[in-house]
Amino acid sequence: MAEWKRKRVWSSVEVRPLGNGYGVFLDGRPATTPAGAELIAPVRPLAKRIAAEWQAQTGTIDPALMPVTRLANAAIDKIGPQSEAVAGMLAAYGGSDLICYRADGPPALSERQTRAWTPLLDWAAEALDARLHPTQGVMFQAQPENSLSALRARVGGMTGFELAAFHDLVVLSGSLILAFAVTRGRLRAETAWDISRIDEDWQSEHWGEDEEARAAATAKKAAFLLAAETFRLLSNPASDTPNG
């Protein structure tokens, strides 16, 4: 982690073609990840976002202000070497997906869940060839193996950078189907986040929410939206508006 403890000693930051993508260069030298690999993004718009974070640093490097860089570091250092295992872990969420588990009560909560979640299960059956079945309560509901296999195949086809962004979409929402709905344009990221928070919002509406929980939710939402935007850039880099 020495990379993150050093102070800014560079004056220029630029993006150049490097390897199979685009590197971020500091005073003409390629920036590196904490593990020492060259910091290379697969598409220029993503590299430009990373470069902007490095350019904005003053004094000691603060990783909290460099979320795109941290996601790229994870893609290169952590996910790349074990992409198959990561893909398997994410695909496993389909076996216990958030939107399959409905509350026993009160009726108003279970109805809210049904209105938001059932259309997404129907969409997954058509768009992903993966019919998942809902249940009430928290007891495990086994899902059809052919549906789980279809989901595993789709996750397994992702690149390391796509998996890094997809990881945050799945883990932060608790739903593989919601993550796919975002990456395939079925839902806007903001809407998907709200749908994933039905239980929490219900609790806060009826029992209140403390400042610590609100701050944690805000941070998670920001990470979720960043992951969605990153995946969009990876899938459609031409849609990015250049910043100069």
Q: What is the pLDDT of residues 103-150, one digit of tens each?
A: 998 999 999 999 999 999 999 999 999 999 999 988 999 999 999 999
**Mean pLDDT (the chain, rounded):** 93
* Residue 201 one-letter amino acid: D
Q: Work out the average pLDDT over 73-86.
A: 96
Q: Indicate the domain borders of the chain.
A: 2-63, 82-236
Token representation of residue 234: 């990876």
Q: Read off the DSSP letter of residue 20.
A: T
Separation of alpha carbons 100 and 109, rounded Å: 14
CATH 3.40.50.11610, domain 82-236, yes or no: no
User: What's the predicted TM-score (pTM) here?
Assistant: 0.92
Question: According to the model, what pLDDT value does residue 30 have?
Answer: 96
Q: Work out the average pLDDT over 90-109.
A: 95
Beta bridge partners of 32: 38
pLDDT in tens, 153-195: 999 999 999 999 999 999 999 999 999 999 999 999 999 999 9
Q: Work out the average pLDDT over 43-61.
A: 94
Question: Cα-Cα-Cα-Cα dihedral of 199, 202, 203, 208, to 10°?
Answer: 140
Asked if residues 51 and 16 have their Cβ atoms less than 8 Å apart, the reply is: no
Question: According to the model, what pLDDT value does residue 14 have?
Answer: 97
**Among 189, 187, 179, CA closest to 90:** 179
Cα 108–Cα 114–Cα 118 angle in degrees, nearest 5: 175
Find where tokens 């938001």 sit.
Answer: 116
Domains 2-63 and 82-236 in one fold? no
| CATH no., domain 2-63 | 3.30.2180.10
